[in-house]
Chain A
Amino acid sequence: MGGRASAFLLVGFAALGLGLASLSAQTADAPPSDRKSGFDYMGPDSQAMQKDDLSNPGMLGVLDGEAMWNAPAGTTQKSCAACHGDARESMKGVAAKYPLLDEATKTPIDLVGRIDQCRVDRQQAAALPREGRESLALTAFVGLQSRGMPLAPPDDARLTPFRKAGEALYTRRMGQLNFSCAQCHDDNAGGHLGSAPIPQAHPTGYPIYRLEWQSLGSLQRRLRNCMVGTRAEPFAYGSPEFINLELYLNWRARGMEVETPGVRP
């Protein structure tokens, strides 16, 4: 299934190459009033699916995450709730500020990485593989507690070099098709790639339920799809490159509403 979908995307991306070559670069950062979530580019059916918690398939993952939150785990047999209590209180607004600087390592850490620290160090349980069902479920459950709140990346000068590195990746051409993220998501946002509208690439809904995947997936999975589309070698899950990119994307989208769990085509 994945193979067929990416083959289709390749045709689309290659066709776009012909069109893009003649376009000149426009402004980078859209002013706040012009910023649109991927939600705004979806049809009314998909929007309705996201808006109704009893139709949004991402909520099935959230329910799994809630069960995990309350279940004892690891050699300590402590649940997340044993230390953090009611997630609606303790996790409110938490997802909206990640990635942030991990004080121990002085490097940025994303929400998945932070949850994993608690799993491994505090519950003494096995790490959850990134992109596995359980990791996505817990992240979606924690993410939901920030829904409706503005993305609030910390204004921490120590993060600046990492964010700048993310911005450099965003504007760097990559892959056999030689596209940068910015060429699609800044210069051609609102246009189309085949039949798919090109969104502004705001990471407001993650983890998302993507209809094409028929499952929840992380921002990094989404970014890997875009990279494969340009025939670039995608970065590894959890790599510093992806976390730097996420830092930059969150900064670019600061103030926009968290939608987790979003629905996307």
Chain B
Amino acid sequence: MARALINVPSKAKRGDVVEIKTLMSHPMETGFRTGSDGALVPRNIISRFACTYNGEVVFSAELFPAISANPFISFTTVATESGTLVFSWTDDKGQTQVQTAAITVE
């Protein structure tokens, strides 16, 4: 199973800008490399990342080759209400990894 490290402040004041950091394990195989048999290793990268906050998309990104393995993505959002952040990473094989984090807004 792929592993992710997610850093979301557990508590924030309403209206605060909070920084969110994510680190996802993934080979990010570019499709340009050859294996030991000389054949091209098929491309397999995370092509889309998205984060929803209580159901609403607050950040999304398309990823391309030349982004390192185990991509680190950080962004900010405004703490509006207590709830759940849902993170999803989708790769070329169509596999989607989903992780959640809770935030309490006071």
A: which residues have CB within 8 A of B? 1, 52-55, 57, 59-60, 63-64, 211, 214-215
Contact = CB atoms under 8 A, between A and B. Distances in A.
Given A54-B23, A55-B21, A211-B68, 18 more contacts: A54-B5, A55-B5, A55-B23, A55-B72, A57-B23, A59-B5, A60-B3, A60-B5, A60-B23, A60-B25, A60-B70, A63-B5, A64-B3, A214-B28, A214-B68, A214-B69, A214-B70, A215-B69
Contacts of A59: 5, 23
Contacts of B50: none
B6 interface: yes
Nearest to A2: B33
10 pairs of A and B residues whose beta carbons are closest in the complex? A214-B69, A54-B7, A60-B25, A57-B70, A54-B5, A63-B3, A60-B3, A214-B68, A1-B33, A54-B21
Interface in B3-49: 3, 5-7, 21, 23, 25, 28, 33
12 contacts: A54-B7, A55-B7, A55-B21, A55-B23, A55-B72, A59-B5, A59-B23, A60-B3, A63-B3, A63-B5, A214-B28, A214-B69
From A52, A60, A63, A214, name the one whose CB has the most chain B CB atoms within 10 angstroms. A60
Contacts of B68: 211, 214
Contacts of A215: 69
Contacts of B28: 214
B3 A54 contact: no
Interface residues of B, number: 13
From A54, A59, A64, name the one whose CB has the most chain B CB atoms within 10 angstroms. A54
Interface in B67-88: 68-70, 72
A214 B7 CA distance: 21
Contacts of A57: 23, 25, 70, 72
Contacts of A63: 3, 5
Nearest to B69: A214
Nearest to B32: A1
Contacts of A211: 68
A50 to B, nearest CB: 13
A186 to B, nearest CB: 33
Contacts of B69: 214-215
A211 B5 CA distance: 18
Contacts of B70: 57, 60, 214
A55 B7 CA distance: 9
Nearest to B72: A55
Contacts of B72: 55, 57
A96 B63 CA distance: 40
Contacts of A214: 28, 68-70
B36 to A, nearest CB: 11
A214 B33 CA distance: 14
A113 B3 CA distance: 26
Contacts of B23: 54-55, 57, 59-60
Contacts of B6: 54
Nearest to A64: B3
B96 to A, nearest CB: 18
A172 B68 CA distance: 37
Nearest to B70: A57
A49 to B, nearest CB: 8
